[in-house]
Structures are given as C-alpha cells and as structure tokens.
Amino acid sequence: MAIRSRKTGKPAPRQMAPQGTLARAPKKAAERGIAAAQKSRTNGRPEPWVGRRYLRKEDPRLIQGISHYADDLRLPGMLHCVFVRSPHAYARIAGIHTGAARSSPGVVAVYTASDTKALGVVPCAGALPDLKIPRHPVLAEGHVRHVGEPVAAVIAEDLYQARDAAEKVQVEYDPLPAVVDPEKALAGTNFVHASVKSNQAFTHQLKNGDVDAAFSRADRVVKARFVNQRLAPVSMETRGVVAQYLPGEKTLTVWSSTQIPHLLKTQVALILGVPETHVRVVTPEVGGGFGSKLNVYREEAVVPFAAMQLGRPVKWSESRRENIAATIHGRDQINYVELALKKNGTILGMRARVISDLGAYHQLLTPIIPTLTALLISGCYKIGALQCDVVGVFTNKMATDAYRGAGRPEATYIIERMVDLAARELNLDPAEIRRRNFPKPREYPFATITGITYDSGNYENAMKKALELAGYSRLRARQKDAWKRGKYYGVGLSTYVEICAMGPSTAMPAGGWESGTVRVEPTGKITVLTGASPHGQGQETTFAQIVADIFGLTPDDVNIVHGDTAAVPYGIGTFGSRATAVGGTAMYIAAQKVKAKMAAIAAHLLGEKAAAMNFSAGRVGTKKKSLGFGEVVGAAYVARNLPPGVEPGLEATHFFEPSNFTFPFGTHVVSCEVDAETGHIRIDKYVAVDDCGNVINPLLVEGQIHGGIVQGVSQALFEEVIYNEDGQLVTGTLMDYSMPKAAQVPEFILERTCTPSPVNPMGVKGVGEAGTIASTPAVVNAVCDALRPLGITHIDMPLKPEKVWRAIQQARAAAAS
Amino acid sequence: MIPANFDYQAPSSVEQAIALLESSHEAKLLAGGHSLLPAMKLRLAEPALLIDLGRIPGLSYVREAGAQVALGAMTTHAAIAESPLLASRSPLLSRAARQIGDVQVRNRGTIGGSIAHADPAADYPAALLALDAEIVARGRKGERTIPAREFFSGLFSTTLLSGELITEIRVPATTGAGTSYAKFHHPASGFAVVGVAAVVKMASGKIQSAAIGITGVADHAYRAGAAERALVNQPASAIAGACSRAAEGVDALGDHFASAEYRKHLAAVYCRRAVQEAMAAKA
Ligand SMILES: Cc1cc2nc3c(=O)[nH]c(=O)nc-3n(C[C@H](O)[C@H](O)[C@H](O)COP(=O)(O)OP(=O)(O)OC[C@H]3O[C@@H](n4cnc5c(N)ncnc54)[C@H](O)[C@@H]3O)c2cc1C
C-alpha cells in the first residue's frame, strides 16, 4: 500500500521511522498506546499510517498559493486600517491633530486614545506576587513608550488612502530620555512608567538545597556573564486582522492570524465589552508564529472596535516594518551564573541571576517567560543546590514574550555554556563532564533541583549516538591538526532537555488542557475538531494519520478542523510543543470513545462480543463476520436497531488534562572553523540526535528539527534586534535584521532515539522547539572551543565577525604583552 | 509598505524617455526596480513620475565592440552572470554579478540601475573601476562617454547629469590578465560589507600591473592606488604587505554590523585574497 502524491501519482517517499523507534517502547506505554496497535497489526494486516513519512495534506494548497490568509479576505464594503506609530522611544504626547487626516480623500474615521480609553486593556496572564502591571491601553495614552507604539488608527475606503492619510496625522511629541540598558534601568531614576516608580517589574526566586554549603565545599567555582540577545520572531506571514460586526444580529467576527483563537475570543469580548456568546474568532491560514501569535495585541482590539463603530468590515495587515517593531520580541536576558564544582566534575551547586528586559508593556506572557528559564536552568544534570533569582525590567522597547522555546533556550544556553566552561577549568572532556552529571536511566521519573519531574530519559544514550555519528574522536584529531597549522577548528556539544506538552493546568496561567472532538459523519467520513490551532506544524496530516489507524481508514477519510470558535469546542491553542501531546491525546481519547460505540453497534448487529470487533481496511468485525465501516455508521444514524442504552449519532468530545509536562532531550554536535583573519565562522558539521518519544510522521519531525536548528544557529551567529542608546530601532528591516537563509546553514545529519513518554497514551512528547533550544549553545561552544589556544573563554552572541575578530585581536595583544 | 502616489509612463524610445525626464523635476527612471521600489515603499523616495525603461527595445545586450565588450544598460545581473561572451573575454563582471543578492534580484536588477543608484555597498562599481570601464550616457544634448573613475562621486551619487540616462557600459577584454572578485557578504542584505575586484597582469613571476577596485568601505567605490603601486614589480611574497594599504587614506564608513576600522581591515584581507586569486586565475 504505497502512498501516492495526489498530483504526480508517483510513489511518495515512504519508510518506517528509523531504528525501530516504536518497537523499543517500554512495556507500560506500549500496552496503552500506538506501539501496541502497531504490534498487533504486524501479522498480515495493513501497515499503520502512524510512523510513515506521509506527505502533508496542507502542502498542495499552500504551495499553489490557493489558500487564504487574513490578507486574502475581501468582504463587501470592507475598509482598511493603517496605524500611526511612535517614532520615539519615549515621549510625552502634547497633542494629536487629526483634522487634515480626517478630510483626506476616502477617510472614514481616525481613532486615538480619546476614542478608545473606555475599552479594556491588553491582557497579561502573569501572576507573580510582586508583579507590577502598568496600564496597557489599546492606543497610546499620554505617553509613547517604544518605537512603533500605535498612537492613532486611520480607517479609509482603500489601503492607499489610509496610508496617505496616516502621514497627515500630526502628533506633537515632547521627547524624553529613553531607558534602554536594563542593568542601568534597575538602578536609575528615569522610569518607563512614572506610576510604578521603579523599572523593576517583578522578582522571582527559585531556591532549593543548601547553596552556600555547596559553594564552600567546592574545589572550583566557575563564573560567567552571558548576554542572550533580543530576537525578532519574523514569521513568514506577518500579523493581520479582519473584523466584521453585524448590527442586527449583534455578532462580531474577528479573523486573526493567531495561535490562540479561543483565548482571543474571550479577551476580545472582555476588552470590547461584547457578550462572548456573540463573538467568533476564526484563524484563516496562519503562516507561522513561533510564539509571536500566542498573544493578544492592541490591533486585535482596535480593528474590531472600528468595525463596530462603523458597521462595516475593517482590515489591517501588518507590514514587515511593523512586524519587526511592534510584534513581540524574544529572549533579551543578561545572566550572571556561578557553578560550584568538585574536581571530578560533579556539579555541587549553582547560582544564577537572570535579568530579563521586558520592554515597555506586558504582553500576554511577558513576565512568565523568564520564570521558565529558572525552571529549566539545571538542564539535564543532577545539581545539589540551586538559587536562581529572576528580575524583570521595564525599558523603552517592544515587549518580549514567547519566541520559539520561550525561556528554555536561555536556560539551556546558560547551563550548556557553564558546563563547557567547567570542563575547561577542570581539564575534562566536555562529553565526559556531562556524562558524570546525567541522571541514570533507572532514576526516572527524575526530580530536578528546580522542582519538576522529568518523565523519562536516557541522555547518555543520545549523546553516545551523536558522538558516534559525528565521529567525535576524528573531529578532535582534526582540531589538533588545525591548531598545529595555526588554524582554529572547534567542536561543540549541547546535551539538552526541554519542557514540552504545556502543560498541566496547575502549572499554566490559563489552563493547560486541550479539547478534541471526533465525529463520524453519516457518509463514513470523519471530522475532527481540535482546540489546538496549528499554523504550519502539519497537524492536519498527523492527526489524520492517528485517527485513520484507529478506525481502519485512510488519512484522506479524516478532515481536521481547527481555528474557528464557532465550530470547535473551547481550546487552548498551539504553543509550547503541546498540540500533539495534549491536543492529539484529547482527540485520540475522543476517537477511542467513538470507536467503542461503533464496536458496540457492530457487535450487536453481528451477534458478537464488542471486545472482538476489529477495525481494519474499512471493515468492522471479526475475521469470519464483519460489516462495512459505512454500514455500522449507517446503523448509528438510522438508529432503528441500536443496542439497548446506546444513543444515536457518532460523536465524542474529550477534554484532556495532562498529568505532567513531557521532557524531550538529545545531543547536538557542531564542528566549525573560525577564520582568524576576519572572524568569519563556517560550520563544518552539524549532527543532531533528538528524542521526542514516539513519532507520528518522521518527515514532519525532521522538518521541525531543521527549522529549529536554523533559528538557533542564526541566533548564535547573526540575529539581533538592536536599539541604539536613544531607543531607536536600528534593525528595522530585513536588510539589517539578519534572518537566516538556506545558503547560510550547513547540511544537518539527523538521528533519533526513542524513549516514549509515559504521561500520554501515544507516548509522544513534542518537537517544535527542540532544534532552537539545542543548537544555540552547541554553536557557541564550538566557536569558543576553536579559539581555546588563544585563551578566549567566551564571546557573547551573536558571534558577528567583527566581534570575533576583536576578541582574537585582544587575546593576541594580551598574549604578546 | 505603500508608496506615495505617482504617475507612470512607459516610453518606447530613449529619446522619449529623455523628453519625459526633462518634463518633470520629480521624475525617476525605473529599470529593474530593485533599489527604487523598496525606497518608494518605505517612502524614502517619492517621485511624482516613473519612467519605465522596460519597454524600450534594444537596451539589453552583451556584445563584442572591438577590444571591448558592450552591455546595454537594461541588461540584468542574471544575463551578465551567465554571458558566454563575458566568460571568455572579460569574466570579472560576471563574477561580481553572480554574487549580487538572490535569484529574484539577479533576474530583475540591471547594471544601469545599479550603477546609477551608486549604493556604497554595490558590487559592480568595484569591478567597473578595476576594469577601467566606460559608461555611455545620453541626454538632450547628445551622448558622452564617462570613464568609470570619473563616474562614482559620493554616497548614492554619480556625475550623471539630471536629464541624462545611461545607455551602455563598456568593459575591456581582459585577455592576458588574471581577474577576481572577493566579497564579504552582509548576512542580512547580501550586499558587500567589503568587495574587492582585482585585475592583475604578471610578467616573469612578478606583478606587472594591478588594478584594484574596492566597494563597501567608503561612501563610494574607489581605486586602491597605494596598494596598486606597492604591488608593481613585486613577487608573490610581497602581496600581503602591499595589500595592507588597500584602504590607505580612505574615509571609511561604519555601522552596527561593521565599524570603519574593521572595514578597513577587511579591505586589506580581501584585497590580498583577490590579488592572489587573480594571479592564480588562468589569464
Ligand atoms: C534584497 C536585495 C538584495 C540586493 N543585493 C545586492 C547585492 O548584493 N549587490 C548589489 O550590488 N546590489 C544588490 N541589490 C541591489 C540590486 O542590484 C538592484 O537591482 C540595483 O541596485 C538597481 O538596479 P535596478 O535595475 O533594480 O534599478 P532601479 O531600482 O529601477 O533604479 C535604481 C536607480 O537607478 C536609476 N536608473 C535606473 N536605470 C537607469 C539608467 N539606465 N540611467 C540612469 N538612471 C537609471 C533609477 O532612476 C533609480 O534612481 C539588492 C537589492 C535587493 C532588493
């Protein structure tokens, strides 16, 4: 049974997940999960869909450009919105003159804060005890606090008229000195929010074990300061909002390029004061988010507000400049870290201070992100004692929030750099010091010093495999040879663990569960409604593979519906590598419920036991007696001959609450060459061994790893949002902001190990962020390793050529003097 | 990213284009649009009239012209990169063209547009200077030929007069010389942080002459005279020393990606690499 690409008719690439991933599933998970299903089908039955490299159902429409993004929507009578944004980092608004704009051709309305001040504010879900939440109005009130802050909204008949009129809105600004450097901001008296009277937004401490004792017992203490620079997520599709209000029906429909349609629906209702029953949010095609669309933005309130005021549909499409200036940023931490070590490399204790640059206002999860750094800061190591202090700082910049990995890449960078520095200090091989501090496989579930429990793992196995694949000893030999020739060649490791499948509701700001509905339609086709809201990950395909196997059908028989609050029961959304592990599980359990009902009906019709019913190749029954799948479905809907107590219809909904996060892990190995003359870095080899538990579709897992590594390598080498000392955004276009390009990254050599998660029946973990989390420290470790002969221990990211060149110059000068 | 209002005309001859250019002070020629349109979308340029050169026949060619190769102003980077004539007679320009931007930019952008725009980080200017190329401009008063050395005059500025347009670029055949273009790409824009074009003639193991054009370092591309002079009559071992003078006396630009000091340093390194490569290239 070959999969054929629908267009070409050629067989699609197809193979089972390599290294027999499912076969290695521990007994416990296998009994309940797809591993069991897989096993039971090997005797003469069709090969399951799960585990195949099945081409994405989404791709034909995306590749042909015939699907619809927010900007493709055209509604009758639709108006266009352009925002007037602050050119200043910090200024008092002395006056706004909208007369000329209002009388500009085609202009229907110009809104400023005086029109919107009665509306609710942009929400923040953070709940730390001392958290200051300054007012975050939908349009700037009194002051602007970052470049790109929206001050006015111009609504016109067409986009060109709106853009021209926006130039005519005159805003009188009294510029104020900007707060830019977060460390200076903490000590300073120039406040981003006068009402808060401090730039400190919150503090958070995670403390466990006797830290002072650990440090006083230590043979060695290694200290470092790291900068984890600010990044722009730059999803391929920028944001976009279309809103329509029907005054008769009193219904508000908002189409938005978001990762969280249901949460947005609730928030729009609250901000605008509309009953939630009358609000519908639809996500059209969403062209990526990387966390940046896991948010509620000002524009998502202003555009519907205008549509309600004017009784006409209104559209806003974000430009790339707006996207870089006024969509959330990621990272932006300064870390002070100390590690207490025994001579043999044992990590006795860790102290860390995390200074998080939050920007001017809290977005949805702004203050939560750096607390995730604290939660993961011990990485994949047994650490005796820990103190991690986090402080959030207001500055005159765009807010930071969730960007691919969200707090976890920062944690991984900290611990993986520190372990490398420790290895160097103690003269140990970087792989060896890691091995000595890993928990052993029998120690799972493993309770970390940060207070969480790693569900499963085998770090040493993944590392061993990665080192073998990379030819670690050969790379070391090559390095020695390069050093002898005055060349700089380095090898870097990153052994990471991450927190996925977000998450149990107790650990989440607004619910960590997910919903799934499975409905077998009267024609025998299956509709799945999922509260997860994929936006490029490919769940329309993987979820269909899972459901097809459960019912003995094909993925083409299954349609996944998501992103429409009028059609789909309430859900949380897609982020934190949760869609499959949490949303997929909800759907899996709902499907099992429907299957049980169909089994009962089929057994009744066949005069057999329900437990004996098998679903295979479109039939339901036993080897001897069976019915067509459609016959059983027909019986459920015609409802004339149902077993006693069984309701008509074939639909079930399940709300799945996970008992824990999942903890994927792995090892990435990078080798690189540094051109000492220019500081240019060339990555020579990139090997990644990742363990994300059971794999639904290896093709999509590899795609996620590829994209993740590219973004992580890009952070290490190029990417950086730069505000100058006046708070001006210097990297405001893609001519200055270095998005990674295919030609800039090496070939990736990928492998997997498989340690199924015990916290969900499918044994899946999540893979959306792994590449980003693992790759950044691996690259920096490789570069610092290459420069060892010069005595260079650390260079902050991004490792731009000039910075590397200067570090080399300085080291040489120091050696000469 | 919406430009301001503008009028649009697509003349069918150079004469008509010149007449239109004279008709308005705020007119701009449109070639490949890959410098002009981005500037318009950011409203950094707001021309009242766009004169599209794309409908004028006979402005896109690469052909032999005596000891020179002549290129029409509307010849795209891609056509220059792939020209068999240039490959055999004057390969330096093709090498530079191959390193411009990405596929889309090379398919749309033109040599005339690039040199008229005179971006301080553009690639062609370095090559044209090293080649001692000529630029043919036409205006109401007729045609004139401008040596490349007299063409680039400052940041985004040239000695082209208002009312003039570029019709042709002429480069000499470099038979007998080795040529090379060494470029340090900006990771975001793809433009040259530093780009060095070298034309080197050798005689009995020594450098007979070297012509070196450098882009990306100063506000406009320049000939590295001090380095060129230092290279003459020198053996391979003296190249590094001579090339360390690649940015001598040059007022370098700096930005957040590369400071002035670093650019000058890169100029020296890339100068050496370009000269070495040129020497190794089969003439
Ligand atoms: C993403 C991107 C990357 C790029 N990377 C590079 C790079 O690596 N290296 C590089 O060198 N360039 C690069 N460029 C610029 C590119 O090469 C442009 O194509 C070129 O600079 C302008 O040529 P054009 O034909 O597009 O001209 P246009 O944009 O149409 O015009 C540019 C200017 O020249 C004038 N003009 C056009 N034709 C004539 C003429 N015949 N006579 C007089 N004036 C004329 C116009 O009025 C305008 O002022 C890049 C551009 C982009 C968008």
The yes/no answer on whether domain B178-282 falls in CATH 3.40.50.300 is: no
In short, whether B179's Cβ falls inside 6 Å of ligand 1 is no
User: How many CA atoms does the CB half-sphere of B130 hold within 13 Å?
Assistant: 38
pLDDT value at residue B281: 85
Using a CB-CB distance cutoff of 8 angstroms, which residues of chain B are in contact with residue A680? 184
The answer to whether the bond into A123 is cis (omega within 30° of 0) is no
The answer to whether B109 and B76 have CB atoms below 8 angstroms apart is yes
The answer to whether the bond into A798 is cis (omega within 30° of 0) is yes
Q: How confident is the model at residue A31 (pLDDT cuts 50, 70, 90)?
A: very low
Tell me: pLDDT of A490 over 70: yes
**Cα A399 to ligand 1 centroid, rounded to whole Å:** 36
Nearest residue to A423 via CA among A335, A337, A498, A339: A339
pLDDT value at residue A29: 39
The gap between the terminal CA atoms of chain A, to the nearest Å, is: 72
Which atom of ligand 1 is least distant from the CA of B35?
Answer: 29
Kindly list the distances between the CA atom of residue A794 and the CA atoms of A332, A372, A714, B235, in Å, as whole numbers in the listed order.
18, 24, 18, 40
Question: What CATH fold (topology level) applies to the domain B62-172?
Answer: 3.30.465
User: Could you tell me the maximum CA-CA distance found in chain B, to the nearest angstrom?
Assistant: 62
Read off the pLDDT of residues A387-420 as tens digits, 9 standing for 90 and up: 999 999 999 999 999 999 999 999 999 999 999 9
Kindly list the distances between the CA atom of residue A710 and the CA atoms of A45, A232, A288, A747, in Å, as whole numbers in the listed order.
40, 14, 15, 10
pTM of the model: 0.94
Amino acid at A581: A
Q: How many CB pairs under 8 A join A and B?
A: 49
| Chain B residue at shortest CA distance from A321 | B1
In short, whether B272's Cβ falls inside 6 Å of ligand 1 is no
Within A171-245, residue ranges assigned H as helices are 182-187, 211-217
Tell me: pLDDT of A14 over 70: no
The answer to whether A479 and A489 have CB atoms below 8 angstroms apart is yes
| Cβ <8 Å between A805 and B265 | yes
pLDDT value at residue A43: 52
Task: Provide mean pLDDT across the span A508-513.
Answer: 89
Q: How confident is the model at residue A62 (pLDDT cuts 50, 70, 90)?
A: very high
Burial of A807: CB neighbours in 10 Å, binned 0-12, 13-18, 19+: buried
**Measured between CB atoms, does A747 come within 8 Å of chain B?**
no
Q: Which residues contact residue A704 at a Cβ distance below 8 angstroms, ignoring those fewer than 6 apart?
A: A537, A767, A768, A770, A771
| Cβ <8 Å between A738 and B188 | yes
State the average pLDDT for chain B. 96
pLDDT value at residue A36: 43
Using a CB-CB distance cutoff of 8 angstroms, which residues of chain A are in contact with residue B184? 678, 680, 801
Q: What is the DSSP string of A334-349?
A: EEEEEEEE-TT--EEE
pLDDT value at residue A18: 35
Q: How confident is the model at residue A5 (pLDDT cuts 50, 70, 90)?
A: very low
| Chain A residue at shortest CA distance from B259 | A802
Q: How confident is the model at residue B248 (pLDDT cuts 50, 70, 90)?
A: very high
Which atom of ligand 1 is least distant from the CA of B31?
Answer: 30
Using a CB-CB distance cutoff of 8 angstroms, which residues of chain B are in contact with residue A167? 43
Burial of A378: CB neighbours in 10 Å, binned 0-12, 13-18, 19+: buried
Q: How confident is the model at residue A817 (pLDDT cuts 50, 70, 90)?
A: confident
In short, whether B117's Cβ falls inside 6 Å of ligand 1 is yes
Which atom of ligand 1 is least distant from the CA of B74?
Answer: 41
- The neighbour count for residue A46, using CB atoms within 10 Å, is 12
Q: What is the C-alpha to C-alpha distance for residues A723 and A700, in angstroms, rounded to an integer?
A: 36
**Cα A280 to ligand 1 centroid, rounded to whole Å:** 46
**Measured between CB atoms, does A730 come within 8 Å of chain B?**
yes
Q: How confident is the model at residue A198 (pLDDT cuts 50, 70, 90)?
A: very high
Q: What is the C-alpha to C-alpha distance for residues B142 and B145, in angstroms, rounded to an integer?
A: 11
Read off the pLDDT of residues A710-720 as tens digits, 9 standing for 90 and up: 999 999 999 99
Q: Domains in chain A and their CATH numbers?
A: 14-67 (no CATH), 79-178+234-326 (3.90.1170.50), 456-497+661-817 (3.30.365.10), 505-656 (3.30.365.10)
The answer to whether B170 and B133 have CB atoms below 8 angstroms apart is yes
Phi, psi of A427 (to 5 degrees): 60, 40
Tell me: pLDDT of A37 over 80: no
In short, whether B28's Cβ falls inside 6 Å of ligand 1 is yes
Cα A56 to its chain centre, rounded Å, is 20
Within A490-572, residue ranges assigned H as helices are 539-551
In short, whether B110's Cβ falls inside 6 Å of ligand 1 is yes
* Of A167, A722, A744, Cβ closest to residue B187: A744
Q: What is the C-alpha to C-alpha distance for residues A96 and A100, in angstroms, rounded to an integer?
A: 11
Candidate of B8, B22, B29 to mutate for ligand 1, largest count of ligand atoms within 8 Å of Cβ: B29
Q: How confident is the model at residue A45 (pLDDT cuts 50, 70, 90)?
A: low
Q: What is the C-alpha to C-alpha distance for residues A222 and A206, in angstroms, rounded to an integer?
A: 20
Tell me: pLDDT of B137 over 90: yes
Using a CB-CB distance cutoff of 8 angstroms, which residues of chain B are in contact with residue A163? 2
Q: How confident is the model at residue A509 (pLDDT cuts 50, 70, 90)?
A: confident
Contacts 24+ apart (CB under 8 A), A97-103: A97/A169, A97/A170, A97/A171, A97/A172, A98/A152, A98/A169, A100/A168, A100/A169, A100/A170, A101/A152, A101/A154, A101/A165, A101/A166, A101/A168, A101/A169, A102/A165
Using a CB-CB distance cutoff of 8 angstroms, which residues of chain A are in contact with residue B102? 741
Read off the pLDDT of residues A633-682 as tens digits, 9 standing for 90 and up: 999 999 999 999 999 999 999 999 999 999 999 999 999 999 999 999 99
Read off the pLDDT of residues A720-754 as tens digits, 9 standing for 90 and up: 999 999 999 999 999 999 999 998 999 999 999 99
| Chain A residue at shortest CA distance from B254 | A802
pLDDT value at residue B218: 98
Nearest residue to B171 via CA among B142, B147, B190, B143: B147
* Of A163, A320, A805, Cβ closest to residue B262: A805
Atom 10 in ligand 1: residue holding the nearest Cα? B122
Task: Provide mean pLDDT across the span A484-505.
Answer: 95
Residue for token pair 């000499």: B172
**Measured between CB atoms, does A744 come within 8 Å of chain B?**
yes
Using a CB-CB distance cutoff of 8 angstroms, which residues of chain B are in contact with residue A321? 1, 42
A526-530 and A558-562 as β-strands: parallel, antiparallel, unpaired? Answer: parallel
Sign, Cα dihedral of A99, A101, A104, A109: negative
| Cβ <8 Å between B256 and A321 | no
Tell me: pLDDT of B170 over 90: yes
Atom 5 in ligand 1: residue holding the nearest Cα? B101
Read off the pLDDT of residues A134-178 as tens digits, 9 standing for 90 and up: 999 999 999 999 999 999 999 999 999 999 999 999 999 999 999
Q: Which residues contact residue A700 at a Cβ distance below 8 angstroms, ignoring those fewer than 6 apart?
A: A56, A537, A538, A541, A542
Distance in Å, alpha carbon of B10 to nearest chain A alpha carbon:
23
Q: How confident is the model at residue A32 (pLDDT cuts 50, 70, 90)?
A: very low
| Chain A residue at shortest CA distance from B267 | A678
Candidate of B100, B158, B167, B196 to mutate for ligand 1, largest count of ligand atoms within 8 Å of Cβ: B100
Q: How confident is the model at residue A3 (pLDDT cuts 50, 70, 90)?
A: very low
In short, whether B174's Cβ falls inside 6 Å of ligand 1 is no
Read off the pLDDT of residues A760-807 as tens digits, 9 standing for 90 and up: 999 999 999 999 999 999 999 999 999 999 999 999 999 999 999 999
Predicted complex ipTM: 0.96
Phi, psi of A23 (to 5 degrees): -60, -25
pLDDT value at residue A28: 42
Q: What architecture is the B7-55 domain classified under in CATH?
A: 2-Layer Sandwich (3.30)
Length of chain A as a residue count:
817
Q: What is the C-alpha to C-alpha distance for residues A158 and A79, in angstroms, rounded to an integer?
A: 6
Strand order in the sheet with A143-144: A143-144, A91-97, A170-175
State the average pLDDT for chain A. 94
- The neighbour count for residue A464, using CB atoms within 10 Å, is 17
pLDDT value at residue A586: 96
Domain ranges within chain B, ordered by starting residue: 7-55, 62-172, 178-282
**Cα B105 to ligand 1 centroid, rounded to whole Å:** 9
| Chain A residue at shortest CA distance from B255 | A730
**Cα B25 to ligand 1 centroid, rounded to whole Å:** 20
pLDDT value at residue A769: 94
The answer to whether A577 and A587 have CB atoms below 8 angstroms apart is no
Distance in Å, alpha carbon of A387 to nearest chain B alpha carbon:
36
Atom 23 in ligand 1: residue holding the nearest Cα? B113
**Measured between CB atoms, does A106 come within 8 Å of chain B?**
no
DSSP A580: I
| Cβ <8 Å between A678 and B188 | no
DSSP A450: T
pLDDT value at residue A15: 34
